Amino acid sequence: MMSNASKIILIVDDEPNIVLALKYLMEDAGFVVHCCYDGETAIEMVTNLLPDLIILDVMMPGKDGYSVAKYIRNQSTLDKTAILFLTAKGTPQDKMEGYDSGAESYIVKPFDNDEIVTRVQEVLQILF
C-alpha cells in the first residue's frame, strides 16, 4: 500500500466551502494539500509545486479547468501530475471534454466524501 504522506495535491475551485471540505478530506487521508481559487493561480502554483495530483473545477473565473488541464499536459515537467476534474458539469460532452483535455478521472458535484478520497488514491496508485 502506497503512503499518502509524501503525495502533494493541489485543489483548484472558486467555491471556498468546497476547497475547505476537500482540504480537510485530503489532509485527513494523509496528503499534503495546497489550494487556490482560479485557473491563473493554479498554473503558477502547479509549475512551482509539481503536485502528484490536481483536483480541478471546470467553471472558474479567468481560465477554466479545461484550459488548465491542457496547459499541464503540455508541460514536460508536469507529465507525472494526475488530473481529477470535480465539477457540476455532468453531461457526456462535458466528461468527454474533460478526458480529452487530459484528465485521469472525472467526478460530478455534489460528491461523496469516501468516493473522492478513494478515486484520488486509485488514480495515484495507477500512476505511481
Task: Dump pLDDT digits (tens) for 15-65.
Answer: 999 999 999 999 999 999 999 999 999 999 999 999 999 999 999 988 999
- Local structure of 125: helix, strand or coil: helix
pLDDT tier, 3 (very low <50, low <70, confident <90, very high otherwise): confident
Instruction: Answer whether 33's CB lies under 8 Å from 39's CB.
Output: no
Closest CA to 122 of 111, 110, 106, 109: 106
Q: Rounded distance, CA 70 to CA 23, Å?
A: 24
- Confidence check: pLDDT of 128 > 80: no
- Local structure of 118: helix, strand or coil: helix
Give me the mean pLDDT over the 59-85 stretch.
96
**pLDDT at site 127:** 79
Give me the mean pLDDT over the 98-102 stretch.
97
Q: Rounded distance, CA 46 to CA 31, Å?
A: 16
**pLDDT at site 4:** 84
Q: Say what the pTM is.
A: 0.95
DSSP 23: H
Task: Provide Rg for the chain, Cα atoms.
Answer: 13
pLDDT tier, 2 (very low <50, low <70, confident <90, very high otherwise): low
Closest CA to 18 of 113, 94, 106, 98: 113
**pLDDT at site 126:** 86
User: In the chain, what are the domains?
Assistant: 8-123 (3.40.50.2300)
